[in-house]
A and B are shown apart, each in its own frame.
Chain A
Amino acid sequence: MMIKNSLDIIEICTKENVPIWEVAISYEEAQSGFSREEIVEKMGRHFSQMQKSIDTGLDLDDRKIRSKMFRDDAKKLMVYRKKNKPLSGTTISKAVAYALSVMELNCSMGRIVASPTAGSCGVLPAVIISAMETLKMKKKHGVNALFTAGMVGTIIAKNASLSGAIGGCQAEIGSASAMAAAAVVEMAGGSPQMAFDAAAIALKSVMGLICDPVAGLVEVPCAKRNGMGASNALIAADMVLAGIPSVIPFDEVVWAMNKVSQIMPSAHKETSEGGIAITPTGQRLRDEIFGED
C-alpha cells in the first residue's frame, strides 16, 4: 500500500479498522527499521519534553527571557485566566498560555521539540496537553496524538512544505495547527476522516499567512501566532466533533497551500523584507536590537 495523501491513510484505517496513529507507527516501523517499542518509547520522550517545555517556560524568571520584544506573556495569561472568566473559554485560554510559554522558552535558548519547526514549536504541546487536561486523558493518549500529528505533517511535507522560507507561515504554524487539530479529534474519539477534516479546516483558516519576523527573530509575531494557531486547532476540532465536515478535502487544501507558496513573494518568506517586519515599529526594533548597519 502506498501512502501519499490522506485518502491512502483513510483507506488503510478503514480496511484495518485502526486510527491514524496506528498507521503512523506502522509507517515508521517500515521506513526506519526500528521496532514498535523503540518508536513508541522515542515519541514518549518527545511528549515528556513538550510537557517539560511548557512547565519550564511558565516558571521562567522574567529576567531570564532573552527576548528584547516581550516579557512573561504566558504567565500574564495564566494569572488572568485564573482570576477572571476568560472570554475564549478555559481550554483555549490555557492552550494559548502554553503556546506562549514554549515560545518564550524557545527564544530564551531553552530546550524544545521542533514540531514541525522551532518557530512553530508551541502549537502542538499547547493543543494536545490542554485537550488532554480537559478530556482527562493519560500520557499514552498524548503520545498517540503526536503520532497522528506526525502522520498529518508528513503528508503535508510530502505534498507541500513545512518551511517558512518555502511556504510562509501557513507552512509552519498553519501545518502545526492542522496537525494538532487532527490529533485532538482522534483523541476525543473522532474518526480518521474527521481528523483530516479538522486539519483541513485549520489549514484553510490560515491559508496565505506570510512569514514576516521582526528583525529576523523567532519572536514577533511568531509567539502570539503560535497561540492563535493553537486556538485555531481547537476550534476546528470542536466544529468537526459537532458533525461539521470540511467542504474542501484535506488533500486539496494542501495542494492549494502549495500553489499559494509557489506564487508567494520572497519578501513574505522569512526574509523580513515584508509584512509586519517592515512596519515603522518593526524596523525600529530591528535597529535597536542589531544596530543600524
Chain B
Amino acid sequence: MSIGIDVNAFRNGNSMNFNSIFDVIGPVMIGPSSSHTAGAAKIGYLSTQIFDKQITAVEFYLHGSFAKTYKGHGTDRALLAGIMRIKPDDSKLRKAFEIVQERGIEYNFYKEDLGDVHPNSVRIVLFGIDDTSEQIIGSSVGGGRILISRIGQTDVEVDGDYATLITKHFDKPGVIAKVSTILSAYGINIAFMKVFRQLRGAQASLIVQVDEILKEEILNKIQELDEIQEVKFINSLRQAGVI
C-alpha cells in the first residue's frame, strides 16, 4: 500500500526532534531517566569519539540537576559506562563501577557551577595513555538528546545526530569557502554549518554537519590548508552504533 504523505509538512513545527514514530516509541534504554541516564551515557560515549584514545583517567564535574540528583539517577554509572563505550541500552551500564575498576581507569566525581549552561550538564576531563588530555562540556537537553557545547577552549555545537567536522583556524576571509570546496569535490553533502570565533581575526572554528563519514584523505586535504590549525571529525551516534 502506498499513501502519499508529505513528511516535510511535519518538519516545520516546534517539535522537529520528533520526526520518527520511534522518537515516541523508543528508544530502548537502561532506566531510570532519559535525560539523567541515557543522555549521560551518550555524552560519555560521544566524548570518546572526540578524544579517541585509550583512557587512563577521567574527571567529571557535575553541574545543576546532574550535581543534585546524580546518585539517584545512576548518572555517575551512565557517564562512566559512556566513556568505556558501553551503550545506553546495554545492561552492563549498571555494573559500570565494577567494569571501570577491571579496566584500571581512575575516576572522580566533583560538583561544579559551570555558569550559564543547561541544568543537566557535565564537564568531562579525559586523560589518555600518551599523557594527553581533553576537556569537554556536554548537556543532556531532554528526551535523551545531547549537546556538546565545548571542546578544550573552543565553543562548539555537536549533537551526535550528524557526523561533524570541526576545524580550528585563523579567522580570515575565504577559509569557509576553501573547506566547502574540498567537501564538494568529494561529493560530500553539507547538512548544517556554523562558525564560531572569539575575536575578529583571532582563532575561529567551523562546525560542519555532514551526511557521510569523511575519509582520512578528505581530512588531510583540509588539514593542509594554510589557515587550518586543527581538524577533528566526530562520527554521529548512529555511525558509532550507539542508537
Contact = CB atoms under 8 A, between A and B. Distances in A.
B220 interface: no
A31 interface: yes
Given A22-B1, A157-B23, A46 B34 contact: no
Given A27-B5, A27-B21, A118-B38, A113 B27 contact: yes
B25 A150 contact: yes
Contacts of A43: 21-22, 25
Interface string A25-67: 0111011100000010011011001000000000000000000
Interface in B83-135: 89, 91, 93-94
Contact of A114 (B1, B15, B27, B68): B27
B143 to A, nearest CB: 6
Interface in B1-51: 1-7, 9-10, 13-15, 17-34, 37-38
A112 B28 CA distance: 6
B77 interface: yes
Contact of B24 (A1, A12, A23, A116): A116
Contact of A115 (B10, B18, B24, B94): B24
A48 B26 CA distance: 12
Given A23-B3, A151-B21, A218-B33, A46 B28 contact: yes
Contacts of B2: 26
A1 B5 CA distance: 5
Contacts of A119: 32-34
Given A4-B10, A30-B7, A109-B93, A150 B28 contact: no
Interface of A: 1-4, 12, 16, 18, 22-24, 26-28, 30-32, 39, 42-43, 45-46, 49, 105-119, 121, 124, 146-147, 149-151, 153-154, 157-159, 161-163, 165-166, 179, 215-219, 289-290
Interface of B: 1-7, 9-10, 13-15, 17-34, 37-38, 65, 68-69, 71-74, 77, 89, 91, 93-94, 142-144
